[in-house]
Each structure stands twice: as C-alpha cells, then as structure tokens.
Amino acid sequence: MDPAELGDVLAAQKGDEEAFGRLVRLRQGLVTALVASRVRGRSDVEDLAQDVFLRAWRRLPELREPERFTGWLARIAVNAALDHRRRAAVRPRGASLDEGGIDPPADLPGADHGLLVREEFSRVLEALGTLDDRSREAVVLRYREGMAVKDIAALFGDSPAAMAMRLTRALRTLRERLP
C-alpha cells in the first residue's frame, strides 16, 4: 500500500476529514467501477458511490487493518450495490455507455485517440457485463486496482488457487467476446 494512502487512512480513522477526502479522490474510480458493474443508471451510480464513502467514513473505526483499506472499501461497495439492487429490484447486468452508467476519461488528448479509447472501453464493459457478479468484481479488483490475487481471494473467502482459476476463466470468456 502506498505510504501516503496508508497515512491518510490512519489520519481519517482519527477524524481527519481532509485525509478522507484524498482517499475518496483516490478510490472513487474503484468504487464507481464496482458499483457500476451491478447498478444501472448514471445518477444511481453516482449517488451510490457517495453512499459507499459515507458508509466507509462511519465504519472506519471498525477497520482494524488499515493497510487493507482498499479491499475493505471494495467489500462495502459490493454490499452497497447488492443492497441497492435488492431495493430497486433491478435485474443485474453490466453497465454500458448506452445505459449511461459510467464514462471514460473526458480529457484524452486528440479526438481520434479519445474515440478509440471510448470504443474499446465500451467493448470491455459490455464483455464484463456477461460475467457472473463475483468474477466481474474479481476482474475489476485485479486489473483496475492491481490487488494481489491472494488478497482478492481473502476478500471473497476463496483460496488463491480458486481465485486464480476464476480469473483465468473470466479472461478466457473476455477474450472470446473481445474481437
């Protein structure tokens, strides 16, 4: 874990709001990606991402291993999305640009390059939407956040071997669906 991030986690646990704000900026992409992988609608995603951080702020005293903040936050995000889905009775599916879920970066240099990224981004998200929930979350944690396989496994209560197998199957599926 980056020492600055860990420092912010420790400070936030002691009530430092500015430190928590830095954590929000650092991890809002992760939370948004996790939430968007289960929840449709741009406004719902944004509201729910905010709710996730509010829950995290409230529960920070319960976090006994600050170096595991990322995984802990991810679990809150996943649970929040599940709660939301239960309440809204929304059929789970992957988000896409067409459904107004999340956006690719807007400040890419060069219109052509930006267009290519946007198309690629859309294709990957569509393919992700075909995975089962757990595999999709594992892929996000592994390839967006760079979390260790063993840490993701611990988060889901799996063995590292089982998680490696899950990721392999997910990659095979994604490869088939990404021309």
Partner 1 sequence: MTGGPTPDLLPSDPRPPADPCEECQALLLLVAAGEAEPADASRAAAHRTSCPSCAAEEPALRAAEGRVAEALRAVEPPSDIAGPVLARIRAGEAGGPPLRALPGGRSRAGFLAGKRAGWIAAASAAAVLLLAAGVRPVLSGKWWWELERRPSAPADPAAGEFAAFVDGTAAAGLGFRHHAPLGDLRWMAESVGSGAAAADLDGDGDCDLYLADAWALDSGRPEGAGGRLYLNRGDGTFEDATEGRCPDVPERVCGVLAADLDGDGNRDLVLAGYGRVRVLRNRGGADFEDATEAAGLPAEPTSWFTCAAAADFDRDGILDLFVTRYADQESYREGMRRLSTEPGREGIWRGLPVFAGPRPLEPQGDRLYRGLGGMRFEDATAGLEGQEPRYSFQAVATDADGDGLVDVYVATDTQPNILWRNLGGMRFRDEALEAGCALDAEGKAQAGMGVAAGDPDGDGLPDLLVTNFSNDHLTLYANRGRPGKPSFEDRSYPSGVGPASFRYLGWGAAFADLDLDGREDVVVANGHLYPNVADMPDLGVSFAERLQFFRGLGGGDFAHAADGAVKGNGTPRVHRGLALLDADGDGRLDLLATTLGGGPALLLNRTPRAGRQWIGFRLRGTRSPRDPAGARLTLVAGGETRTRELRIGDSFASSSEPVLRFGLGEAAQAERIVLRWPSGAVQELPPLPAGRIHEIVEPE
Site for partner 1 in 14-73 (CB under 8 A): 14-17, 19-22, 24-25, 28-29, 31-33, 36, 42, 45-46, 49-50, 53-55, 57-61, 64-67
1 makes contact with partner 1 (CB under 8 A): yes
Residues 6+ apart with CB under 8 A from 149: 142, 160, 163, 164, 167
148 makes contact with partner 1 (CB under 8 A): yes
The residue from 10, 90, 97, 154 that contacts partner 1 (CB under 8 A) is 10
Q: Which of 71, 86, 57, 31 is nearest to 155 (CA)?
A: 71
For partner 1, give the closer residue by CB, 44 or 85. 44
For partner 1, give the closer residue by CB, 31 or 74. 31
Residues 6+ apart with CB under 8 A from 61: 13
Identify residues 98-137 at the interface with partner 1 (CB under 8 A): 102-106, 117, 120-121, 123-125, 128
Buried residues in 143-161 as b, exposed as e (16+ CB within 10 A)? eebebebebbbbbbebeee
